[in-house]
Structure 1
Amino acid sequence: MSEKITNWTSADDLMIENAIRRGASRRELLQMMMIGGIAALAGSTILGRATSAIAATPVKGGFVKAAGFTSSTADTLDPAKASHSTDYVRCCAFYNRLTFLDGQGETRMELAESIESGDAKVWTVKLRKGVTFHDGKSLSSADVVFSLKRHLDPAVGSKVNALAKQMTDIKAVDDGTVEITLVDPNADLPTILALHHFMIVADGTTDFSKGNGTGPFVCKEFQPGVRSIAVRNENYWKESGPYLDSFEFFAISDETARMNAVLSGDIHLGANLNPRSLRVLENNPAAQPFISKLGTYTNLNVRLDMAPGDKQGVAEGFKYLINRELIQKSVLRGLAEIANDHPIPATNRYFNAELKQRAFDPERARSLFQKAGVLGQEIHITASETASSSLDYGMVLQQAASEIGLKVVIDRVPSDGYWSNHWLKDTVHFGNINARPTPDILFSLLYKSDAPWNESRYKSDKFDALLIEARGMLDDAKRKQTYGEMQAMVSNEAGTVIPVFMSNVDGVSPKLRGLVPNPLGGMMGYAFAEYAWLEA
């Protein structure tokens, strides 16, 4: 019985807590635990623990130190330019969005009081009253118009320009109302506006070093590549939170050092730990794992516009050469779900379950590489600690390659500068993509011909046309069919090798409470600072 209790993770505790909050009966809760292989006595213990956690009253006060896994001198407080988790954490602390995604993936209103449309093309946004920026300025429609239009300006360099370009007209109707007109209908607009990049900034902002937003914390210090210190916004518009007095955020690029910092009590939260660390965390009273089951993945990118990826069969060969089950079971210790070389996880309602799963087939890979004329040649693959588990993936791939006569060389590069100097640039390299809530967002950011993060330079006029068509479909069954076709196209034609979807493991102090998984990523969708509190 004790073994079964041990196998019940903190993520499952949180699942029971969320179920209780949604009103699940005791019978339903016990059925959930029986499915998970939990004995009755253990189940009662877990129920008691979950009930106690819910009953615990958040405590105001305290200072938290948290460490992410990537940082550089390019760190920014400009939401439009945010490109990694460290930026997202800070933007979530200093700004708000019009909408946000809750722990169940449902779109909720934030700065918007309502977002409505009769045809999914023209949308009316009503803003909350009584919201002020850190400098005392009141939120108005002018701020929203300015914030959204920035993404359309090429000079800004917005990371979501491809998504924002569907907004053809953004105008203020009055001081508290904004009208957004899309080039084509898109029922996903409220969810799109929940992405981290669509934070609302003050009208006319050009200096983002102060993080002047409407968010739960005020920026006290920001040193790109070093650290940030945030203090509670005493005039925050929400009735509850934030609870912390202040928090410091910085990066520890080395995973072992990050975990040791949690275990020693030097930090309260260490983000994105290797699944190998799970057993250490579970058996140490000084820390515990916070597991988020997401659609996050680390992928191998074979650029189709550069040698050797421009030779037919090379990208496909890598898809057959990657041992997905070995990565799932050994590298990630079971904290992953098998993927099929496209970015839509099985938990998404638009997932194509009919697409045949690609198997590990070294002989087929060898045949493809041989026809492409690359057997016997060296193929260099760029990997880094900052692209989660990519070094381990590289070793698995290198071993499989050696057995079929393919010479794979893993070029390990430092974390600092990886995303600006190697990702999207090197001929064959690893990436790491955070979870996104809709197929439209994923395809628009990663696979549309002009997508800003088109990692393999995949280009298809047919795919682009289907993407636009699917946005305006009100027939959900037809929309699912179209997204299914697009998943097959990416899986078979793009140069991105996506072996598994990874669960995220953050190491946290037992005193840090209030965290629940969020579909936008680890650390509670990077918004932990607003909701976390310290146990006295």
Structure 2
Amino acid sequence: MSLITNGRLDRRGFLKTTAAGAIAASLPLGGAYASTPKKGGHLRVGKGHGQTTDTLNPGTWENGYTIAITHAKDGHLTEVLADGSVGPLVAESWEASEDAKTWRFKIRNGITFHSGKTLTPEDVVASINFHRGENAVSAATPIVAPIQDITIDGDTVVFALDGGNADFPFILSDYHLPILPATDDGIDWKSGDGCGSYVLETFKPGVTSTLVRNENHWRKDVAWFDSIEMLSLTDQNARTTALVSGDVDTVDKLDLKTIGLLSRNPDLDISSVAGTQHFTFAMSANQAPYDDVNVRLAMKYAINREELVEKILFGYGSVGNDVPIGQGQQFYNTELEQKTYDPDKAKFYLKEAGLDSLEVSLSAADAAFAGAVDAATLYQNSAKAAGIDLKVVREPNDGYWSDVWMKKPFSAVYWGGRPVQDQMFSTAYTCGAEWNDGFWCNEKFDELLVQARAELDQDKRRQQYWELQEIVSTQGAIIIPMFANYVFATTKKIGKPETLASNWDMDGERWAERWWFA
């Protein structure tokens, strides 16, 4: 049964088949696999992300589908490389003052947008300013808030910060900060124009997008595919079916329960990359009962983290400790006491809150992360011993991020993490941040974060970040029970670099540029 219509993917066709049947019917593809990149071919991608409410407004992007689009069609000042370091893109080079408060980024000459317009420093200024100011509606506003002024000096853009920030080049790699054409009142994001290695041909939110290689791109060492078709397949079964039926070449967010079966297929390559991705349950600290830190602690001790890693991640991950910093990151707090499942301690904190029992609802959908509903059910079972009646509410996949996340008081969430601690904390943990999904405010935390950002002494900086993690773990509103490996699959027709980036799924969501047909 073919799921291709006129050479394009038929989304409805996927939903008419079953993953089990497709796995059983899959046949070897055969062929030789080259080890060096070459140009050619039409790549078909099934993403477990995307919703009908998505737009091309960079300030609103919040899922892997839109992240993948911007890394293909746009250029950012910098990029996170596969080894975790930061490298130049639209910015050819940069330098900082001794106190790291002033940064000068030299803009690369000869870059053009897909419309033919030459990229200028003015486009850079307008693109960053789009996310600044009281009237800005952007998830990136907290991370650019330290910028006091942006000026132009010839081919150089100068950033003046309100304090030192040794990580500033990393900040400018954030996927919300593409360089787009300047307009009289901001930037042109509606047309889809960009300066990246692929041109966006079609964008149908929550359905499909198509891109073609930009033959005029300034880089010649990226963008090997002639064209790309990316399908939004939030349904786990549809995504798996598409892969094993040969109707897509790669998918993310694999159903970890089926990996054993998938790995037997000689034509599939399963990749597991440990990184900063973490799955969470966010409590709204601005609403009862979660406005009581004792209730939050009770909820944290009522979850069996080891069980979730075993039964939801099937070992493809590690136990979390309610901090969004991965064990491989520079300032991870190795001495922070690990929380374990302890119903008695959970009961103790309930009593501290003046409660003998607690009844709450937890919203979840597989759009949050694969297995989120099952994880919520396991949480429900473990919480009973602590006197917590946790009711699981299965929410629709479509619209989850617009209608449930940060709307319902307790919900399942996935985070890709960020390459540096300041960026992660600023994005989701500072008071009033657009994506502070715990609605948590802590004055000491906010003050210390500013100090750590400006501190250039590495030992002092480590102490500060360790204290920040302790505050979040013990007082924060986010339960982080597990860090999940990025597990994705490709057919063996796809060539990939030896080192895969771990800052986002699927090679840092730069698969469009870095992979090729072997």
TM-score between both structures, scaled by the size of structure 1? 0.87
| Contact 1:269–1:508 under 8 Å retained in 2 | yes
Instruction: Give how far 1:260 is off.
Output: 1.7
* Amino acid aligned to 2:106: K
2:174 counterpart of 1:195: yes
1:481 aligned residue = 463
* Amino acid aligned to 2:435: W
Distance 1:276 1:374, change over 3 A: farther
Correspondences of 1:200-211 after superposition (within 5 Å)? 200-204=179-183, 206-211=187-192
1:6 aligned residue = none
2:126 aligned residue = 146
2:145 counterpart of 1:162: no
What are the superposed Cα offsets for residues 219-270 of structure 1, whole Å, 9 maximum, x if unpaired?
Answer: 1111122211000101010022311010011211111221121111111111
Number of residue pairs matched by the alignment: 482
Instruction: Give how far 1:378 is off.
Output: 2.9
**CA distance, structure 1, for counterparts of residue 39 and residue 174 of structure 2:** 28
Distance 1:178 1:207, change over 3 A: closer
2:92 aligned residue = 113
Match of 2:505 among 516, 522, 529: 522
Match of 2:212 among 231, 253, 257: 231
| Contact 1:383–1:430 under 8 Å retained in 2 | yes
2:300 aligned residue = 319
Larger RCO (alpha carbons 8 Å, 6+ apart): 2
Match of 2:72 among 79, 93, 103: 93
2:19 aligned residue = none
2:38 counterpart of 1:56: no
**CA distance, structure 2, for counterparts of residue 220 and residue 154 of structure 1:** 34
Match of 1:310 among 284, 291, 294: 291
* Amino acid aligned to 1:88: I
2:246 counterpart of 1:269: no
Q: Which moved more, 1:518-527 or 1:203-212?
A: 203-212
Counterpart secondary structure, 1:197? coil
2:112 aligned residue = 132
What are the superposed Cα offsets for residues 387-415 of structure 1, whole Å, 9 maximum, x if unpaired?
Answer: 11321221111111223432111001011
**CA distance, structure 1, for counterparts of residue 222 and residue 501 of structure 2:** 18
2:417 counterpart of 1:438: no
What are the superposed Cα offsets for residues 34-88 of structure 1, whole Å, 9 maximum, x if unpaired?
Answer: xxxxxxxxxxxxxxxxxx98x7222211111111112222222232321111110
Instruction: Give how far 1:374 is off.
Output: 5.1
Match of 2:221 among 235, 240, 245: 240
1:368 aligned residue = 349
* Amino acid aligned to 1:480: R
2:480 counterpart of 1:498: yes
What are the superposed Cα offsets for residues 287-329 of structure 1, whole Å, 9 maximum, x if unpaired?
Answer: 2212221111111112122122124421101111111111112
Counterpart secondary structure, 1:212? coil
| Contact 1:69–1:272 under 8 Å retained in 2 | yes
**CA distance, structure 1, for counterparts of residue 361 and residue 354 of structure 2:** 16
2:67 counterpart of 1:84: no
* Amino acid aligned to 2:38: V
Distance 1:153 1:339, change over 3 A: same
**CA distance, structure 1, for counterparts of residue 387 and residue 464 of structure 2:** 39
* Amino acid aligned to 2:138: S
Instruction: Give how far 1:371 is off.
Output: 4.5
What are the superposed Cα offsets for residues 459-497 of structure 1, whole Å, 9 maximum, x if unpaired?
Answer: 111111101111111101000000000100000001111
**CA distance, structure 1, for counterparts of residue 170 and residue 65 of structure 2:** 22
Counterpart secondary structure, 1:498? strand
What are the superposed Cα offsets for residues 143-163 of structure 1, whole Å, 9 maximum, x if unpaired?
Answer: 111111111144441211011
* Amino acid aligned to 2:207: V
Instruction: Give how far 1:451 is off.
Output: 1.5
| Contact 1:113–1:125 under 8 Å retained in 2 | yes
**CA distance, structure 1, for counterparts of residue 35 and residue 317 of structure 2:** 31
2:5 aligned residue = none
Counterpart secondary structure, 2:297? helix
Cα RMSD of the aligned pairs, angstroms, is 1.7
Match of 2:83 among 98, 104, 122: 104
Instruction: Give how far 1:373 is off.
Output: 5.2
1:65 aligned residue = 44
| Contact 2:95–2:104 under 8 Å retained in 1 | yes
**CA distance, structure 2, for counterparts of residue 462 and residue 503 of structure 1:** 32
What are the superposed Cα offsets for residues 111-166 of structure 1, whole Å, 9 maximum, x if unpaired?
Answer: 11111012311111111111111111112111111111111144441211011111
2:57 counterpart of 1:75: no
**CA distance, structure 1, for counterparts of residue 336 and residue 358 of structure 2:** 33
What are the superposed Cα offsets for residues 387-444 of structure 1, whole Å, 9 maximum, x if unpaired?
Answer: 1132122111111122343211100101111111111121111111112011101111
* Amino acid aligned to 2:57: D
1:34 aligned residue = none
**CA distance, structure 2, for counterparts of residue 508 and residue 297 of structure 1:** 22
**CA distance, structure 2, for counterparts of residue 241 and residue 513 of structure 1:** 13
| Contact 2:138–2:434 under 8 Å retained in 1 | no
TM-score between both structures, scaled by the size of structure 2? 0.90
Instruction: Give how far 1:342 is off.
Output: 0.8
**CA distance, structure 1, for counterparts of residue 319 and residue 231 of structure 2:** 32
Percent identity over the alignment is 33
Counterpart secondary structure, 1:368? helix
Q: Which moved more, 1:73-82 or 1:351-360?
A: 73-82
* Amino acid aligned to 1:467: L
Q: Which moved more, 1:479-488 or 1:78-87?
A: 78-87
Q: Which moved more, 1:471-480 or 1:295-304?
A: 295-304
**CA distance, structure 1, for counterparts of residue 513 and residue 85 of structure 2:** 18
Instruction: Give how far 1:518 is off.
Output: 1.3
| Contact 1:77–1:90 under 8 Å retained in 2 | no
Counterpart secondary structure, 2:309? helix
**CA distance, structure 2, for counterparts of residue 314 and residue 127 of structure 1:** 50
Instruction: Give how far 1:368 is off.
Output: 2.4
**CA distance, structure 2, for counterparts of residue 105 and residue 284 of structure 1:** 31
| Contact 1:466–1:486 under 8 Å retained in 2 | yes
**CA distance, structure 1, for counterparts of residue 96 and residue 503 of structure 2:** 25
